[in-house]
Protein backbone atom coordinates (compact mmCIF):
# COMPACT_ATOMS: atom_id res chain seq x y z
CA UNK A 1 0.00 0.00 0.00
CA UNK A 2 1.23 3.48 -0.90
CA UNK A 3 0.44 5.37 2.31
CA UNK A 4 1.63 8.71 0.96
CA UNK A 5 -0.43 8.55 -2.25
CA UNK A 6 -3.52 7.35 -0.38
CA UNK A 7 -3.20 10.11 2.20
CA UNK A 8 -2.78 12.68 -0.59
CA UNK A 9 -5.86 11.32 -2.41
CA UNK A 10 -7.89 11.51 0.79
CA UNK A 11 -6.70 15.07 1.49
CA UNK A 12 -7.58 16.21 -2.01
CA UNK A 13 -11.00 14.53 -1.83
CA UNK A 14 -11.69 16.79 1.16
CA UNK A 15 -10.53 19.86 -0.80
CA UNK A 16 -7.73 20.60 1.64
CA UNK A 17 -4.29 21.97 0.88
CA UNK A 18 -1.24 20.48 2.58
CA UNK A 19 -1.07 23.61 4.69
CA UNK A 20 -4.71 23.31 5.80
CA UNK A 21 -4.23 19.66 6.77
CA UNK A 22 -1.02 20.53 8.61
CA UNK A 23 -2.83 23.26 10.58
CA UNK A 24 -5.65 20.90 11.54
CA UNK A 25 -3.23 18.17 12.65
CA UNK A 26 -0.80 20.62 14.27
CA UNK A 27 2.04 19.50 11.97
CA UNK A 28 4.21 21.31 9.46
CA UNK A 29 3.35 21.60 5.77
CA UNK A 30 6.80 20.20 5.01
CA UNK A 31 6.07 17.06 7.03
CA UNK A 32 2.77 16.51 5.17
CA UNK A 33 4.62 16.96 1.87
CA UNK A 34 7.28 14.43 2.87
CA UNK A 35 4.68 11.87 3.98
CA UNK A 36 2.73 12.25 0.73
CA UNK A 37 5.94 11.72 -1.28
CA UNK A 38 6.90 8.73 0.89
CA UNK A 39 10.10 10.47 2.02
CA UNK A 40 9.14 9.86 5.65
CA UNK A 41 6.62 7.72 7.49
CA UNK A 42 4.29 9.03 10.16
CA UNK A 43 4.05 7.26 13.48
CA UNK A 44 0.83 5.34 14.10
CA UNK A 45 -0.34 8.10 16.48
CA UNK A 46 0.37 10.80 13.87
CA UNK A 47 -1.36 8.79 11.13
CA UNK A 48 -4.41 8.39 13.38
CA UNK A 49 -4.45 12.17 13.97
CA UNK A 50 -4.17 12.86 10.22
CA UNK A 51 -6.97 10.42 9.42
CA UNK A 52 -9.23 11.92 12.10
CA UNK A 53 -8.68 15.34 10.54
CA UNK A 54 -9.78 13.79 7.24
CA UNK A 55 -12.85 12.06 8.70
CA UNK A 56 -11.37 8.58 8.32
CA UNK A 57 -9.97 5.81 10.48
CA UNK A 58 -7.10 3.34 10.35
CA UNK A 59 -9.40 0.46 9.47
CA UNK A 60 -11.05 2.21 6.53
CA UNK A 61 -7.73 3.70 5.36
CA UNK A 62 -6.09 0.29 5.20
CA UNK A 63 -9.08 -1.53 3.75
CA UNK A 64 -8.26 -2.36 0.16
CA UNK A 65 -11.10 -1.54 -2.18
CA UNK A 66 -11.64 -3.06 -5.57
CA UNK A 67 -10.51 -0.89 -8.43
CA UNK A 68 -13.33 1.26 -9.69
CA UNK A 69 -14.46 0.23 -13.14
CA UNK A 70 -14.19 3.15 -15.56
CA UNK A 71 -14.95 1.67 -18.99
CA UNK A 72 -17.98 -0.50 -19.69
CA UNK A 73 -18.41 -2.84 -22.65
CA UNK A 74 -21.50 -4.26 -24.32
CA UNK A 75 -21.25 -7.24 -21.97
CA UNK A 76 -21.76 -4.89 -18.99
CA UNK A 77 -24.97 -3.32 -20.28
CA UNK A 78 -28.39 -4.29 -18.95
CA UNK A 79 -31.31 -4.09 -21.38
CA UNK A 80 -35.00 -4.07 -20.44
CA UNK A 81 -37.49 -4.57 -23.24
CA UNK A 82 -41.10 -3.46 -22.87
CA UNK A 83 -43.56 -3.75 -25.75
CA UNK A 84 -46.65 -2.77 -23.74
CA UNK A 85 -46.12 0.88 -22.76
CA UNK A 86 -42.57 1.75 -23.69
CA UNK A 87 -42.80 -0.04 -27.01
CA UNK A 88 -39.05 -0.23 -27.05
CA UNK A 89 -36.17 -0.78 -24.68
CA UNK A 90 -34.08 0.88 -22.01
CA UNK A 91 -30.37 0.16 -21.78
CA UNK A 92 -28.56 0.90 -18.53
CA UNK A 93 -25.16 2.15 -19.68
CA UNK A 94 -23.43 1.85 -16.29
CA UNK A 95 -24.16 -1.30 -14.28
CA UNK A 96 -25.25 -0.68 -10.69
CA UNK A 97 -25.52 3.06 -11.40
CA UNK A 98 -28.09 3.34 -8.60
CA UNK A 99 -25.15 3.57 -6.17
CA UNK A 100 -23.67 6.50 -8.11
CA UNK A 101 -24.70 10.14 -8.13
CA UNK A 102 -25.96 9.91 -11.70
CA UNK A 103 -27.63 7.25 -13.81
CA UNK A 104 -27.28 7.28 -17.60
CA UNK A 105 -29.63 5.24 -19.77
CA UNK A 106 -30.20 4.89 -23.49
CA UNK A 107 -33.85 4.73 -24.54
CA UNK A 108 -35.23 3.34 -27.80
CA UNK A 109 -38.89 4.31 -28.20
CA UNK A 110 -40.99 2.75 -30.95
CA UNK A 111 -43.80 4.85 -32.48
CA UNK A 112 -46.46 5.69 -29.87
CA UNK A 113 -44.19 4.50 -27.05
CA UNK A 114 -43.56 6.37 -23.83
CA UNK A 115 -41.48 6.11 -20.70
CA UNK A 116 -42.95 5.66 -17.27
CA UNK A 117 -44.03 8.82 -15.50
CA UNK A 118 -41.39 9.92 -13.03
CA UNK A 119 -42.53 11.81 -9.94
CA UNK A 120 -40.87 15.09 -8.90
CA UNK A 121 -37.50 14.61 -7.22
CA UNK A 122 -34.37 16.43 -6.12
CA UNK A 123 -31.57 16.72 -8.65
CA UNK A 124 -31.42 17.24 -12.37
CA UNK A 125 -32.09 15.39 -15.59
CA UNK A 126 -30.38 15.74 -18.93
CA UNK A 127 -31.23 14.16 -22.25
CA UNK A 128 -29.86 14.13 -25.77
CA UNK A 129 -31.96 12.90 -28.70
CA UNK A 130 -29.75 11.34 -31.35
CA UNK A 131 -32.44 10.08 -33.70
CA UNK A 132 -36.12 10.82 -34.23
CA UNK A 133 -38.29 13.25 -32.30
CA UNK A 134 -39.78 12.96 -28.82
CA UNK A 135 -41.94 15.06 -26.55
CA UNK A 136 -40.81 15.79 -23.01
CA UNK A 137 -43.96 16.20 -20.93
CA UNK A 138 -43.43 18.08 -17.65
CA UNK A 139 -46.66 18.59 -15.73
CA UNK A 140 -49.05 20.18 -18.25
CA UNK A 141 -46.30 21.43 -20.59
CA UNK A 142 -44.98 19.61 -23.66
CA UNK A 143 -41.59 20.24 -25.24
CA UNK A 144 -40.66 18.91 -28.67
CA UNK A 145 -37.07 17.62 -28.77
CA UNK A 146 -35.66 16.52 -32.15
CA UNK A 147 -32.48 14.72 -33.19
CA UNK A 148 -29.43 16.78 -32.30
CA UNK A 149 -31.25 18.64 -29.52
CA UNK A 150 -31.03 18.19 -25.77
CA UNK A 151 -33.01 18.99 -22.64
CA UNK A 152 -32.14 19.75 -19.03
CA UNK A 153 -34.58 20.11 -16.16
CA UNK A 154 -34.95 20.27 -12.39
CA UNK A 155 -37.90 17.88 -12.09
CA UNK A 156 -40.35 19.68 -9.83
CA UNK A 157 -43.37 18.06 -11.53
CA UNK A 158 -44.22 14.57 -12.79
CA UNK A 159 -42.66 14.01 -16.22
CA UNK A 160 -42.18 11.48 -18.99
CA UNK A 161 -41.08 11.23 -22.62
CA UNK A 162 -43.23 10.01 -25.49
CA UNK A 163 -42.77 9.32 -29.18
CA UNK A 164 -45.79 10.41 -31.23
CA UNK A 165 -44.13 10.02 -34.62
CA UNK A 166 -44.18 7.08 -37.04
CA UNK A 167 -40.44 6.46 -36.59
CA UNK A 168 -38.31 5.16 -33.74
CA UNK A 169 -36.71 7.72 -31.46
CA UNK A 170 -33.47 7.19 -29.57
CA UNK A 171 -32.04 9.30 -26.78
CA UNK A 172 -29.63 9.30 -23.87
CA UNK A 173 -31.20 10.24 -20.52
CA UNK A 174 -29.15 11.01 -17.40
CA UNK A 175 -30.70 11.51 -13.99
CA UNK A 176 -29.12 12.67 -10.78
CA UNK A 177 -29.79 11.19 -8.33
CA UNK A 178 -30.67 7.88 -10.02
CA UNK A 179 -34.40 7.48 -10.60
CA UNK A 180 -34.83 4.89 -13.36
User: What pLDDT is attached to residue 120?
Assistant: 93
User: What pLDDT is attached to residue 86?
Assistant: 78
User: What pLDDT is attached to residue 107?
Assistant: 96
Chain-centre distance for alpha carbon 137: 24
Domains and CATH numbers, the chain: 3-61 (1.10.260.40), 74-176 (2.60.120.10)
Biggest CA-to-CA distance, the chain: 70
- Count helices and strands in the chain by DSSP H and E runs: 5, 9
H-only helix segments in 3-158: 3-13, 18-25, 29-36, 44-53, 58-61
User: What pLDDT is attached to residue 131?
Assistant: 98
**What phi and psi values does residue 148 have, to the nearest 5 degrees?**
90, 0
User: What pLDDT is attached to residue 66?
Assistant: 60
Report residues of the chain scoring pLDDT below 50.
none
User: What pLDDT is attached to residue 151?
Assistant: 98
What is the pTM for the complete model shown?
0.64
Distance in angstroms (rounded) separating the CA atoms of residues 165 and 145: 12
User: What pLDDT is attached to residue 39?
Assistant: 94
User: What pLDDT is attached to residue 98?
Assistant: 64
pLDDT digits 0-9 by tens, 96-147? 776 778 899 999 999 999 999 999 999 999 999 999 999 999 999 999 999 9
Amino acid sequence: MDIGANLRRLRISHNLTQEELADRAELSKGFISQVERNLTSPSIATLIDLLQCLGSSLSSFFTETADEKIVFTRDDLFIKEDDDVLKGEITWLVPNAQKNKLEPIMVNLKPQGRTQEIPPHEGEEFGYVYSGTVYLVVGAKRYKVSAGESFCLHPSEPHYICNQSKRRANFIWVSTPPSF
